[in-house]
């Protein structure tokens, strides 16, 4: 069930240059959220910025949830200045989680680019508790942008080669794939759209099941504004909604 | 407590706050978050004869105190609405106004005829003013003879309340309100979105896939108030005020300007319970100011004497 929770901020900590983790007390959302779902946060009670901002849930700790974010615009800049004493109006949990209950896979390959790491710690905990093997591939621009916390069997790629594999995360996965021994693998990914497109092409070519979590402009987060269409594969032109039918999608079912 | 009910062409609404078309889906997405029985009514997403996929992304962009949208009338089509959504809506204990969009006068008539027989459809709002589809929509709404003809044709087909939703993208909205009234409309909704645009200066591309879109939100409230004022002075039928209403004070401003009821739109995206909070806030205002019938506020703008300056702007 979707709830609207006025959530006291318990802390905001800086992880990297422009990357922060905001921790809030949201007992109802904390008890219901599943990996891959998101929350839509009203950061200020003003009309400018007007709309909520969507974020993946990074971690759950008791009755608290954590949101990881990069300061990229006005909303995230305002959120980076929050602290104890502030309250955020949070709508969640929203969207369709990753299909981790799917019995057809036993090894989850978590593939993330940049801040696409956001849903992966919660995912890792969930998968391990259900006896799935987890391998994580994480891509970033450079070593200082790598966010390696709370992950499992981590392999890193950086564009400039300052940490791990030199290249992007899809190339890293490709290099590992030649000699892999993963039992019944399935890819679950999150990251920039260009990276996800490359990954989807790789997964289709190698015949690996693959789910991606998409990000894009969104207003309501619950399906009433129809503002976040994702084109579905098929003869007739049809759109799903990123917020309500996603943000997780089987790459074989969408054009993106 | 103040009298809140409002009767529109025989249809009694619990209060004067409805949720606007395209901002509340088909009424079934928000049931976890807000009780629709506390609303005056729900105006559905625009319905066309056949389903419409709508426009490609990006469809929305936030602007200063507002947002641009270019949804393109995405909807499931009237038949699927009747099969899947109407049974849910019937149980909500609030008035259901079906909004109709079409690309020809015949299509408007077809959709209305199909819905007119349905139990649970309490009235109609006709969208002659969508800025985001090429054929029809706004093209109808910017021609007075067209508004007149559509209204007259639909009037013959229904006895239920018939509301025409007008566009602000014209020089004199009062002429359009009068055209709708004279052709038999029971009310006019004022206003639909204003045509707007936003540009990414780095790529020099528009921020919306369709280049321009419809501007809504608090940014348009002063424009909407002026249009409501103009339209309500030109017609005898009720004017339903729409445009950037975020709270009860905004809604009361619209009533004073001449609106008999209001619709809450973009605010629903920020808070799905906005309409309910606004209706409750209007009651509180009436109680605090000893107003016995909220209807006494309608068109109560004081135009005599000097305009007083208040220091609340500080």
Of B211, B13, B30, B5, nearest to B97 (Cα)? Answer: B13
Would residue B1 count as lying in a domain?
no
Answer whether B69 sits within 8 Å of A225, measured CB to CB: yes
Q: Give dist(CA B281, CA A208) in Å, integer.
A: 55
Q: Is the CB of B132 inside 8 Å of chain A's CB atoms?
A: no
Residues of A in contact with B56 (CB under 8 A): 229, 231
Q: What is the mean pLDDT of chain B?
A: 94
Answer whether A48 sits within 8 Å of B65, measured CB to CB: yes
Chain A: closest CA distance from residue B142 (Å): 25
Q: Which residue of B has its CA nearest to A237?
A: B53
* Res B134: pLDDT: 58
Within 13 A of B270's CA, how many CA atoms are on the CB side?
29
Q: Is the CB of B114 inside 8 Å of chain A's CB atoms?
A: no
Q: Give dist(CA B75, CA B8) in Å, integer.
A: 27
Q: Give dist(CA B260, CA B249) in Å, integer.
A: 15
> What is the reported pTM?
0.94
Q: How confident is the model at residue B43 (pLDDT cuts 50, 70, 90)?
A: very high
Chain B: closest CA distance from residue A74 (Å): 11
Other CB atoms within 10 Å distance of the CB of residue B47 = 30
Chain B: closest CA distance from residue A70 (Å): 19
Chain B: closest CA distance from residue A40 (Å): 9
Q: Is the CB of B107 inside 8 Å of chain A's CB atoms?
A: no
**Sheet arrangement for strand B60-63:** B60-63, B66-69, B212-216, B194-197
Q: Which residue of B has its CA nearest to A240?
A: B53
- Number of structural domains (chain B) is 1
Q: Is the CB of A182 inside 8 Å of chain B's CB atoms?
A: no
Answer whether A1 sits within 8 Å of B32, measured CB to CB: yes
Q: What percent of chain B has pLDDT over 90?
A: 89
* Res A236: pLDDT: 85
* Res B129: pLDDT: 80
Preferred mutation among B54, B60, B132, B133 to probe A, highest tally of A CBs within 10 A: B60
E strands of chain A, at which residues? 3-16, 19-25, 38-42, 53-56, 59-61, 64-70, 87-94, 107-113, 133-140, 154-158, 165-166, 185-190, 210-213, 229-232, 239-241, 248-250, 254-255
* Res B132: pLDDT: 63
What angle in degrees, to the nearest 10, is found between the helix axes of B144-155 and B173-182? 30
Answer whether A228 sits within 8 Å of B59, measured CB to CB: yes
pLDDT tens for the 256 residues of chain A, in order: 999 999 999 999 999 889 999 999 999 999 999 999 999 999 999 999 999 999 999 999 999 999 999 999 999 999 999 999 999 999 999 999 999 998 899 999 999 999 999 999 999 999 999 999 999 999 999 999 999 999 999 999 999 999 999 999 999 999 999 888 899 999 999 999 999 999 999 999 999 999 999 999 999 999 999 999 999 999 888 999 999 999 999 999 999 9
Q: How confident is the model at residue B139 (pLDDT cuts 50, 70, 90)?
A: confident
Q: Is the CB of B76 inside 8 Å of chain A's CB atoms?
A: no
Tell me the two tokens of residue A37: 């779902």
Q: Is the CB of B33 inside 8 Å of chain A's CB atoms?
A: yes
* Res B230: pLDDT: 98
Q: Is the CB of A12 inside 8 Å of chain B's CB atoms?
A: no
Q: Which one-letter DSSP state was computed for residue B291?
A: -
Q: How confident is the model at residue B60 (pLDDT cuts 50, 70, 90)?
A: very high
Q: Give dist(CA B36, CA B16) in Å, integer.
A: 13
Tell me the two tokens of residue B194: 């204003």
Q: What is the CATH number of the domain that holds B64?
A: 3.20.20.70
Q: Which of residues 239-268 of B touch A (CB under 8 A)?
A: 246, 266, 268
Domain that holds residue B209: 6-313
* CB contact at 8 A, B129 and B137: yes
For residue B130, pLDDT beyond 80: no
For residue B133, pLDDT beyond 70: no
* Res B312: pLDDT: 72
For residue B169, pLDDT beyond 80: yes
> Which ipTM score applies to this complex?
0.93
Q: Is the CB of A49 inside 8 Å of chain B's CB atoms?
A: yes
For residue B135, pLDDT beyond 60: no
The whole-number average pLDDT for the span B129-145 is: 74
For residue B138, pLDDT beyond 70: no
* Res A177: pLDDT: 92
Query: Which residues of B are identified as catalytic?
Result: 130
Beta bridge partners of B82: none
Q: Is the CB of A214 inside 8 Å of chain B's CB atoms?
A: no
Q: Is the CB of A228 inside 8 Å of chain B's CB atoms?
A: yes
Q: Which residue of A has its CA nearest to B266?
A: A225
Which residues lie below 8 Å from residue A134, measured CB to CB, with a gap of 6+?
A: A107, A108, A110, A123, A124, A127, A128, A152, A153
Q: Look at B41-45, B147-151, B308-312 and tell me which has the smallest mean pLDDT.
A: B308-312
Q: How confident is the model at residue B137 (pLDDT cuts 50, 70, 90)?
A: low
> Residue by residue, what is the 3-state secondary structure of A136-154?
EEEEECCHHHCCCCCCCCE
Answer whether A223 sits within 8 Å of B53, measured CB to CB: no
For B276, the enclosing helix (H) or strand (E) is helix B274-288
| Among candidates B60, B270, B273 on the partner chain, residue whose Cβ is nearest the Cβ of A227 | B60
For residue B310, pLDDT beyond 90: no
The DSSP bridge pattern shows strands B41-43 and B17-19 to be parallel
The whole-number average pLDDT for the span B158-171 is: 96
Q: How confident is the model at residue B308 (pLDDT cuts 50, 70, 90)?
A: confident
Q: Which residue of B has its CA nearest to A3?
A: B33
φ/ψ (deg, to 5) at A137: -115, 120
Chain A: closest CA distance from residue B269 (Å): 4
């Amino acid at each position: 069930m979707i709830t609207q929770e006025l959530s006291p901020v318990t802390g905001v900590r800086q992880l990297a240059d422009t990357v922060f983790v905001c921790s809030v007390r949201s007992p109802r959302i904390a008890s219901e959220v599943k990996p891959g779902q998101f929350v839509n946060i009203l950061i200020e009670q003003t009309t400018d910025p007007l709309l909520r901002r969507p974020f993946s849930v990074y971690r759950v700790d008791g009755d608290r949830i954590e949101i990881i974010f990069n300061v990229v615009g006005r909303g995230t800049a305002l959120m980076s200045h929050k602290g104890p004493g502030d309250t955020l109006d949070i709508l969640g949990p929203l969207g369709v989680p990753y299909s981790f209950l799917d019995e057809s896979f036993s090894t989850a390959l978590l593939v993330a680019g940049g801040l696409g790491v956001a849903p992966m710690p919660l995912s890792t905990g969930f998968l391990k508790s259900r006896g799935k093997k987890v391998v994580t591939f994480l891509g970033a621009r450079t070593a200082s942008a790598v966010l390696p916390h709370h992950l499992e069997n981590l392999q890193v790629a950086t564009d400039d080669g300052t940490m791990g594999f030199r290249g992007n995360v899809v190339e890293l996965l490709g290099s590992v794939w030649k000699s892999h021994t993963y039992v019944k693998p399935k890819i679950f990914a999150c990251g920039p759209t260009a990276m996800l497109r490359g990954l989807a092409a790789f997964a289709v070519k190698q015949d690996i099941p693959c789910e991606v979590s998409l990000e894009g402009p969104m207003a309501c987060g619950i399906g009433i504004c129809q503002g976040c269409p994702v084109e579905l594969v098929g003869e007739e032109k049809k759109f799903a909604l990123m917020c309500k039918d996603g943000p997780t999608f089987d790459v074989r079912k969408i054009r993106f | 407590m103040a009298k809140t009910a409002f009767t529109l062409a025989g249809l009694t609404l619990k209060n004067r706050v409805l949720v606007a078309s395209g901002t509340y889906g088909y009424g079934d997405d928000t049931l976890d978050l807000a009780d629709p029985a506390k609303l005056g009514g729900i105006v559905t997403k625009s319905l066309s004869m056949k389903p419409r996929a709508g426009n490609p992304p990006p469809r929305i962009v936030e602007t200063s105190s507002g947002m641009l949208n270019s949804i393109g009338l995405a909807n499931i089509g009237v038949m699927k609405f009747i099969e899947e959504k109407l049974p849910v809506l019937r149980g909500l204990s609030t008035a259901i106004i079906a909004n109709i969009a079409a690309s020809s006068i015949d299509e408007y008539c077809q959709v209305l005829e199909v819905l007119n027989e349905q139990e649970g459809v309490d009235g109609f709002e006709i969208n002659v003013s969508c800025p985001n589809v090429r054929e029809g929509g706004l093209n109808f709404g910017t021609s007075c003879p067209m508004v007149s003809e559509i209204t007259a044709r639909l009037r013959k087909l229904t006895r239920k309340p018939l509301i025409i939703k007008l566009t602000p993208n014209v020089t004199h909205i009062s002429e359009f309100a009068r055209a709708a009234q004279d052709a038999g409309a029971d009310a006019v909704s004022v206003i639909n979105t204003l045509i707007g645009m936003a540009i990414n200066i780095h790529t020099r591309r528009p921020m919306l896939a369709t280049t321009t879109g419809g501007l809504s939100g608090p940014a348009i409230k002063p424009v909407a108030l002026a249009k409501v004022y103009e339209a309500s002075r030109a017609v005898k039928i009720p004017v339903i005020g729409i445009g950037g209403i975020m709270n009860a004070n905004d809604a009361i401003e619209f009533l004073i300007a001449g609106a008999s009821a209001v619709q809450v739109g973009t605010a629903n995206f920020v808070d799905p319970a906005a309409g309910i909070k606004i209706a409750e806030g209007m009651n509180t205002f009436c109680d605090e100011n000893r107003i016995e019938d909220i209807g006494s506020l309608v068109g109560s703008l004081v135009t005599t004497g000097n305009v007083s300056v208040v220091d609340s702007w500080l």
